[in-house]
């Protein structure tokens, strides 16, 4: 999607009278993130969550776990060395999931090393809706902040406050490098 190698005849040049023979095929490498890529990446995260939920309901834990593993591998940037991940429902001393194993356990549970994880992606989610408050794009990274609304199979909606920082890697893939999710403050 990103590191596209476009070959186009430079239209702008024609408009100022450059002869056709002078137009060239231009190779383009583009590492910047654009807004639609950010919105797509959010939708993809939501879709992945629901896919894991659905797979769990239909095919059981083992298939859901395999899918989650694959999704984390593609959507997060653990291969960069770490990810800054604070899931909604984790507690000390395992609040931050800076390894892919810790992320996997959060989403599908079943890891003795993380005994408190029950598997956030297994909770029967049917809808997942990001609602952005603001976006900050700086070069190869894009930060978003806002609400995300999760609807479960009974129609109950859970809302969290969520910050993501997306990073475009060398191959043009958008990956999550920062993910901070928290329950809404209850005002007490």
Subset of residues 79 to 138 that bind its own copies, contact rule: CB under 8 A:
79-86, 88-92, 95-96, 98, 116, 127, 129-138
Min CB(128)–its own copies separation in Å: 8
Look at residues 2, 32, 38, 33 and name the one whose alpha carbon lies nearest to residue 146: 38
CA distance 30 to 175: 16
Helix (H) or strand (E) holding 43: helix 35-59
Kindly state the smallest distance separating residue 84's Cβ from its own copies, in Å: 4
Site for its own copies in 168-187 (CB under 8 A): 169-170, 177-178, 180, 182-187
Q: Closest distance between its own copies and the C-beta of residue 156, in Å?
A: 15
Task: Pick from 32, 63, 115, 153 the residue near its own copies by CB under 8 A.
Answer: 32
Per rule CB under 8 A, is residue 28 in the interface with its own copies? yes
Nearer to its own copies by Cβ, of 57 and 80: the residue is 80
Residue 148 as a binder of its own copies (CB under 8 A): the answer is no
C-beta closer to its own copies: residue 69 or 161: 161
SS3 34: coil
DSSP letter string, 56-79:
HHHH-HHHHHHHHHHHHHHHB-GG
Place of tokens 């993501």: 164
Give the integer Cα–Cα distance in Å for 26 and 29: 10
Q: Does 44 bind its own copies (CB under 8 A)?
A: no
For residue 165, the minimal CB distance to its own copies (Å) is 5
Cβ 126 vs Cβ 151: under 8 Å:
yes
């Amino acid at each position: 999607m990103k590191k596209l190698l476009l070959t186009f005849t430079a239209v702008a040049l024609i408009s100022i009278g450059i002869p056709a023979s002078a137009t060239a095929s231009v190779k383009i490498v583009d590492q910047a993130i654009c807004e639609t890529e950010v919105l797509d990446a959010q939708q993809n995260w939501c879709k992945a969550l629901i896919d894991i939920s659905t797979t769990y309901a239909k095919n059981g834990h083992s298939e859901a776990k395999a899918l989650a593993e694959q999704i984390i591998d593609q959507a997060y940037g653990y291969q960069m060395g770490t990810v800054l991940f604070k899931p909604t429902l984790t507690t000390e001393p395992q609040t931050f999931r800076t390894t892919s194993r810790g992320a996997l356990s959060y989403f599908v549970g079943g890891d003795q090393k993380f005994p408190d994880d029950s598997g956030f992606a297994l909770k029967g989610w049917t809808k997942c809706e990001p609602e952005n408050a603001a976006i900050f794009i700086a070069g190869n990274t894009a930060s978003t902040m806002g609400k995300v609304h999760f609807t479960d199979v009974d129609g109950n909606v859970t809302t969290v406050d969520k910050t993501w920082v997306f990073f475009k890697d060398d191959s043009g893939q958008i990956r999550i490098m920062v993910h901070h999710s928290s329950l809404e403050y209850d005002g007490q």
